Amino acid sequence: MTTLPASTTRKLGLVIDLDTCVGCHACVISCKGWNTENYGAPLSDQNAYGADNAGTFLNRVHSYEVQPEGDAAAQLIHFPKSCLHCEDAPCVTVCPTGASYKRVEDGIVLVNESNCIGCGLCAWACPYGARELDAAEGVMKKCTLCVDRIYNENLPEEDREPACVRTCPSNARHFGDLGDETSDVSKLVAERGGMDLMPEQGTKPVNKYLPPRPKDTLPHEGHDLDVLAPFLKPVAEEPKGFLGWLDKTLEKL
Amino acid sequence: MHPAPSVIFFTTFSGLGFGLLVFLGLGYPGVTGWSAFAFLTIAYVMAVGGLMASTFHLGRPERALKAFTQWRSSWLSREAWCAVGALVLMGLYGAGLVFFGTRVTALGVLGAALSLATVFTTSMIYTQLKTIPRWNMALTPVKFLSLSLAGGGLLAGQLTIALVLLVIAGGVQLLTWKEGDKALAASGTNMATATGLGDRGTVRAFEPPHTGTNYLLREFVHVVGRRHSQKLRLIALVLMTVVPVLLLMLPFSHIIGILAIASHIAGVLTARWLFFAEAEHVVGLYYGKR
Ligand code: SF4
Ligand code: SF4
Ligand code: SF4
């Protein structure tokens, strides 16, 4: 059914830390790797070794430059983006076949690929560009929140989280239940002021983004720039003994 | 949005075909026998041809029947139901006209209503999308309906009413362009809200996630075509409304009628191309484009 559930038991999703993401694209690759060989149709590439190559990805990393007012230095922010598993997912209600749905038990938004006619309307309805129609399979692909990992008892316990979360070298992606106030991810969101993307679109995303921390500022005048500096002052300005003799001799040459 | 020829043809011709069915269903012109057959054939070729063209852009056309299942929530599914309902009812009504020379009024009126509903549901598929502010307004269905009726009236040879409807449709089109140009800014969605970084400074797209293109850029970001949009708007309006209206004011002959129809169709096709090419999908903002 493509009507949305009134509420979901849990709200599984990701929390993405824009402060620590280093823009290495490791999550992009691990996502493609896992999802091309597991649940659903593979993520195809077109003309992979040619000049005009393209392919299907469920997760992509943008980079933005933010220029603050005045002459402050610009900040470069890497910005991973995958499906936000919205509570009010417009992609689900537009689907004519019922292929797109939101699960009642955990809130994950999925596509039943054997029902999808590839009309693309759900991708039109998603403001975030989280859905891509696979050119080879003709069906809609999107982030599954690695539903085939998180409940997978054949995997070791530590691997039962999304591939992108597992692989991130800077711990910029966190996975958990955002419907549970006591969960680690919810605490993180509360602590760091986690935000919604395009809140005015009314999609109520489950995934949250942690804003970059402000850059360090220079201390006021009159203060020492570095508290350790006094301790690191050179102890002997003039060399003595043998070194002193050497210094003077070399000077004369 | 990418102006896909299949969708442009689909919306233009099915709009005209269903517009003609509305007039035939209501008994304008009140034809029977062979001349009813001729009118109905034109309407069916346009409406069904348009619907067939729309399946060309499906990734999996062989599963198209599944699109009938979600009428409770999906406008696309409702469109499928209305279209089939209208075609079946008008087929029965047409059989009465052609083979028995009788007009079953109730069937015709119901068929006309469903034909109009088909055009409305088509327009709602576009109107419902908050992601495309230019389409997300009440004027969009008004535009689709007025154009469909104007074209239908023209095809049905109802010259007086067609004249009035053409002027209305032209006016609505102008208003849609005027309002549409303000829609993206008015929607409040911009790079600042897209990235959530707007409160710390001016956001600029520094590097896209991929060096080549992808589905999103091909489908949603079509910036090139907008360069000549003002000229194309003028051409569309002249062909769609001005030329047919002037022609209809001349003493009527079949040649003039056909010229008016041809000009109108060319105008609607141009306007429909612009409808897609000019539409900004908010996902473009993530790429620093609109
Ligand atoms: S991010 Fe897009 S695809 Fe994912 S649930 Fe929200 S609207 Fe749907
Ligand atoms: S592309 Fe598939 S999942 Fe998306 S709306 Fe069409 S049928 Fe539904
Ligand atoms: S949760 Fe899984 S499918 Fe979604 S972006 Fe991460 S790796 Fe990809």
Mean per-residue pLDDT, A209-235:
73
> Given a cut of 80, is residue A139 above it in pLDDT?
yes
Report residue B200 as tokens.
Answer: 């710390």
**Residue given tokens 């409808």 in the structure block:** B275
Give A141's strand partners.
A132
Distance CA B180, CA B278 (A): 9
Cα separation values, A211 from A27, A57, A140, Å:
19, 24, 30
Q: For residues B9 and B28, give the distance between their C-alpha atoms in angstroms, rounded to a whole number.
A: 26
* Angle made by CA atoms B151, B154, B157, in degrees to the nearest 5: 150
CA distance B126 to B133: 10
How is residue A195 annotated by DSSP? Answer: B
For residues A177 and A11, the answer to whether their CB atoms sit within 8 Å is yes
Domains of chain A in start order, with CATH, are: 12-210 (3.30.70.20)
Q: What is the mean pLDDT of residues A4-18?
A: 94
What is the tens place of the pLDDT at every residue in B145-173? Answer: 999 999 999 999 999 999 999 999 999 99
Residue nearest to atom 8 of ligand 3 (CA): A31
Contact call for residues B162 and B218 (beta carbons, < 8 A):
no
**Interaxial angle between packed helices B139-155 and B254-277, expressed in degrees from 0 to 180 and rounded to the nearest 10:** 160
User: Can you state the percent helix, strand and coil of chain A, rounding each to 5?
Assistant: 25, 20, 55
Contacts (Cβ under 8 Å, ≥6 apart) of B116: B18, B22, B145, B148, B149
* From A21, A28, A39, A59, mutation site for ligand 3 pocket: most ligand atoms within 8 A of C-beta: A59
Q: What is the pLDDT of residue A219?
A: 60
Show residues of chain A in contact with B53, CB under 8 Å: none
Compare all CA atoms of chain B with the CA of A60 and give the residue at the minimum distance: B209
Amino acid identity at B141: P
Nearest chain B alpha carbon to A201: B130
Asked if A133 has any chain B CB less than 8 Å from its own CB, the reply is yes
The average pLDDT across A163-171 equals: 97
> Which mutation among A58, A126, A147 tests ligand 1's pocket best, with the greatest number of atoms within 8 A of CB?
A126
Q: Is A80 in the pocket of ligand 3 (CB under 6 A)?
A: no
What tokens were used for B210? 């991929």
Cα four-point dihedral sign A117, A84, A101, A148 = positive
Sheet holding A75-82, edge to edge: A75-82, A59-67, B202-207
Is residue A3 very low, low, confident or very high in pLDDT (cuts 50, 70, 90)? confident
- With a cut of 0.90, is the ipTM above it? yes
Task: Answer whether A132 sits within 8 Å of B195, measured CB to CB.
Answer: no
pLDDT under 70 in chain B at which residues? Answer: 224-225
* Model confidence at A222: pLDDT above 60: no
- Tell me whether strands A59-67 and B202-207 are parallel, antiparallel or unpaired: antiparallel
Q: Which residues of chain A lie closer than 8 angstroms to B130, CB-CB? A: 90, 127, 201-202
